Chains A and B, each alone.
Chain A
Amino acid sequence: MHLFVQSIIIGVLIGGVYALLASGMTMMFGVTRIINFAQAMFAIVCAYLSYSLFTHFGLDPFLSVAILMPMMFLFGYGVYTLLLRRLGKAGPAMALMVLFALGIGAQGVTDLVYGTNTITITPSYANDSWVVFGFQIPVIRFFAFVMAVAVLGAFHLIRQHSKLGRALRATSQNPAAASLLGVDVQKMSAIATGLGFAAAGAAGPIYGLIFPFTGNSQYDLLSKLLTVMILGGLVSMPGVIIAAVFLGVVESVIAATISPDWSSFSFLVALFIVLMVRPQGIFGGHRMQGALW
């Protein structure tokens, strides 16, 4: 029982990181209808950058987020305006593949620069943990969770309580109507892409602190994020966050009680079971229509 509760705690804390990454994808998808297949790889690129900043300049990985987030925002803005926007009629399915290709190219670059050995970021507090009512709470995972919640809170504020957020929501609800009312749809799409990438900038260093990683870890992470997104219903921010925490818990419980080998697998099985019952995800009412290429 103790082990069970312990693994739930760990699962919730990790779920925060997944929630952060996946909600970035949701933010982007809501406005652009593009699923960011490179989110996992960009998070790993940020983990590598944070590792470099830490080893060369002694910058704490949590602080490197302050550099990486704006950088990733600009990168996302650029990727949308230079690449994704031009796809025009070919649309979201094509954009998804362009991003997938970008992710693979980025892995080539990190493999070239950092090699293919597994990397861990180990600040002095790497192995510290607090004991609360007999349960261990690792310091890194706790702060990772706090930070994920903080960034998600900021996203929420931007989306719900600012003029920009209103324009973003309007674009995601009805691009044609929004543009008639004076919203620059392309600019909103670029900003949404930037915000989505910024989530990767925030989550990357945390991911690097919690998990040992290589460029090849992108597929494992990507499969989790995609599962979270689909289960959460693609456009629903609360749905994606709940799905992320839920799957973080399931993964952690299975790793503790059955075997870590099968923990990633549980994501995928959950995905298929849910699809059999509800093809639109747990929280989504959204179903995509229309021609693809």
Chain B
Amino acid sequence: MTAAPRASRLRPSGLAQAAAFVAVLVVLPIAFPAQWLVNLFIFTAMFAGAAMAWNLIGGSAGYPALGNGAFFGVGAYAMAILTTHLGVGGGYLVFAWAIPIAIGTAIVFAPIARLLLRTRAAVFAVLTITLLFIGQTLAYNLVSLTQGSLGMTLPSPSFPAARYDQPFYYAMAGLLALTMLFCWGVRNSKLGLALNAVRDDEDRARGLGVQTEMVKLFAYCSSAGLTAAFGAIWAYYISFVFPGFAFDPILSLSVILFAFLGGVGSLSGPLVGALLIVPVQQYLAFRFGASHLYLIAYAGVFLLVIYLLPNGIVPSCRQYLTRLRRLRSGPTAPDASLLVSNVTAGKSQ
């Protein structure tokens, strides 16, 4: 394996990329203000963020978490309960609740996560998916809190009708940027290295003195909290939550699909995966509406990605680029050094 180029510190090029990313996020709904497009951007940002959050535990630490849809549902219901039962006010203030919901979910989940993380591999996968079933059962049966199978209607804010979706977009995009920053921070710290050590060989990592328990716990709880925040904003946007939609097994699978498509464990992989699939998926849902076709398409894409692109797009492209670079820096040494210096010069601009 070639050592993947990795931004170990904040470099000018990295900063430029980040600035460009934020600029695109900000400009997008201004450039394309059509309502259906903004709606599409909202869902893309949401899935990309949730996939990135999954990548913390599933990609960096290599733990096959199948139940991240549970945290999404918890966030959605937390938002619904806060706004209807407690009446925490309408308008823009509600968005701010996503943060306490995220932190609260992470803290409350910690003891359960500790228990789950005692298991590995397939058993871990099984237990995490039961989280989803537990969440769904609770949402159906704690009728006094969640109104059970009736679902809950959240108060809709009085944003101007023409630009109703814009605030939701900015909330979702802001959260996406925050998630990206968080994942970047984790990746470029000792914590990220420790997580990768856990993924590669947990027992050896522990033997070498890595605090594996704490590291895994941090990754899983932060993954849970971030996913819950996306669920919270989703609930406010949809303004209706129902156990079957909020605790959705498909969501659990799709975040994994996006991460695999883009490249598990890479920073931008889940983002790329979501950017490619969500627009198509939303368009198909909008065009055909029939949910069973959507299920079949989902399974089909998943299998194609696993079998045809097992490394994901981002790592595959990176490998291709390095191979190309090596090919170009052909037999004669002076040429090669010239080319390499050109490339590095081009990169830092």
A230 and B123 contact, Cβ closer than 8 Å, known pairs A101-B303, A262-B141, A265-B137: yes
Contact between B310 and A90, CB atoms less than 8 A apart? yes
Q: Is the interface of B mostly helix, strand, loop or mixed?
A: helix
Contact between B64 and A93, CB atoms less than 8 A apart? yes
Min CB–CB distance A259 → chain B (angstroms): 8
Closest to B244 in A: A216
Inside 8 A of B115's CB, which chain A residues have their CB? 272, 275-276
Contact between A107 and B121, CB atoms less than 8 A apart? no
A223 and B62 contact, Cβ closer than 8 Å, known pairs A108-B296, A275-B119: no
Contact between A101 and B296, CB atoms less than 8 A apart? no
> What total of chain B residues lie within 8 Å of the partner, measured CB to CB?
49
Closest to B61 in A: A292
Contact between B253 and A104, CB atoms less than 8 A apart? yes
Inside 8 A of A275's CB, which chain B residues have their CB? 115, 118-119, 127
Contact residues of B between 34 and 86, Cβ < 8 Å to A = 62-64, 66
Is B184 part of the binding interface, using a Cβ–Cβ cutoff of 8 Å? no
Inside 8 A of A279's CB, which chain B residues have their CB? 118-119
Q: How far is the CA of A191 from the CA of B136 in the complex (A)?
A: 36
Closest to A220 in B: B133
The 8 A CB mask of B131-161 against A (1 = contact, 0 = none) is 0011011101100000000000000000000
* Range for the number of chain A residues in contact with chain B: 35 or more
A93 and B253 contact, Cβ closer than 8 Å, known pairs A223-B133, A291-B199: no
A102 and B299 contact, Cβ closer than 8 Å, known pairs A86-B307, A96-B64, A262-B141: yes
Min CB–CB distance A93 → chain B (angstroms): 4
Contact between A105 and B300, CB atoms less than 8 A apart? yes
A92 and B130 contact, Cβ closer than 8 Å, known pairs A104-B250, A265-B141: no
Inside 8 A of A83's CB, which chain B residues have their CB? 303, 307
Q: How far is the CA of A50 from the CA of B140 in the complex (A)?
A: 31
Among the stretches B18-26, B287-295, B332-340, the one at the interface with A is B287-295
Q: How far is the CA of A87 from the CA of B133 in the complex (A)?
A: 28
* Interface hub of B66, B256, B295, B297 (most chain A Cβ within 10 A): B295
Contact between B64 and A230, CB atoms less than 8 A apart? no
Contact between A104 and B62, CB atoms less than 8 A apart? no
Is B249 part of the binding interface, using a Cβ–Cβ cutoff of 8 Å? yes
A288 and B133 contact, Cβ closer than 8 Å, known pairs A105-B295, A111-B292, A293-B264: no
Contact between B306 and A108, CB atoms less than 8 A apart? no
Q: How far is the CA of A234 from the CA of B126 in the complex (A)?
A: 11
Of B120, B127, B140, B299, which is within 8 A of A230 by CB?
B127
Q: How far is the CA of A234 from the CA of B122 in the complex (A)?
A: 10
Contact residues of A between 166 and 222, Cβ < 8 Å to B = 219-220, 222
A288 and B122 contact, Cβ closer than 8 Å, known pairs A97-B256, A105-B298, A105-B300: yes
Q: How far is the CA of A116 from the CA of B295 in the complex (A)?
A: 13
Contact between B299 and A93, CB atoms less than 8 A apart? no
A98 and B303 contact, Cβ closer than 8 Å, known pairs A279-B118, A292-B121: yes
Is B309 part of the binding interface, using a Cβ–Cβ cutoff of 8 Å? no
Contact between A108 and B294, CB atoms less than 8 A apart? yes
Inside 8 A of A131's CB, which chain B residues have their CB? none
Contact between B122 and A261, CB atoms less than 8 A apart? no
Min CB–CB distance A264 → chain B (angstroms): 6
Contact between B126 and A293, CB atoms less than 8 A apart? no
Is B240 part of the binding interface, using a Cβ–Cβ cutoff of 8 Å? no
Contact between A230 and B126, CB atoms less than 8 A apart? yes
Inside 8 A of A33's CB, which chain B residues have their CB? 122
Is B302 part of the binding interface, using a Cβ–Cβ cutoff of 8 Å? yes
Contact between B302 and A101, CB atoms less than 8 A apart? yes
Contact residues of A between 204 and 251, Cβ < 8 Å to B = 219-220, 222-223, 226-227, 229-230, 234
The 8 A CB mask of A28-65 against B (1 = contact, 0 = none) is 01000111000000000000000000000000000000
Of A226, A264, A292, which is within 8 A of B126 by CB?
A226
Is A109 part of the binding interface, using a Cβ–Cβ cutoff of 8 Å? yes
Min CB–CB distance B106 → chain A (angstroms): 19
A101 and B298 contact, Cβ closer than 8 Å, known pairs A291-B62, A293-B64, A293-B264: yes
A108 and B141 contact, Cβ closer than 8 Å, known pairs A92-B122, A219-B249, A292-B199: no
Q: How far is the CA of A288 from the CA of B121 in the complex (A)?
A: 7
Closest to A279 in B: B118
Is B125 part of the binding interface, using a Cβ–Cβ cutoff of 8 Å? yes
Is A112 part of the binding interface, using a Cβ–Cβ cutoff of 8 Å? yes
Is B215 part of the binding interface, using a Cβ–Cβ cutoff of 8 Å? no
A93 and B122 contact, Cβ closer than 8 Å, known pairs A262-B141, A271-B130: yes
Inside 8 A of A272's CB, which chain B residues have their CB? 115
Q: How far is the CA of A92 from the CA of B296 in the complex (A)?
A: 23
10 CB < 8 A contacts A-B: A35-B126, A86-B307, A97-B306, A98-B306, A101-B298, A104-B253, A105-B300, A108-B294, A108-B296, A109-B292
Known: A108-B299, A293-B199. 15 other contacts (CB 8 A): A93-B125, A97-B253, A98-B302, A105-B300, A105-B303, A106-B299, A219-B249, A229-B126, A264-B137, A265-B134, A265-B138, A268-B134, A275-B115, A288-B122, A292-B64
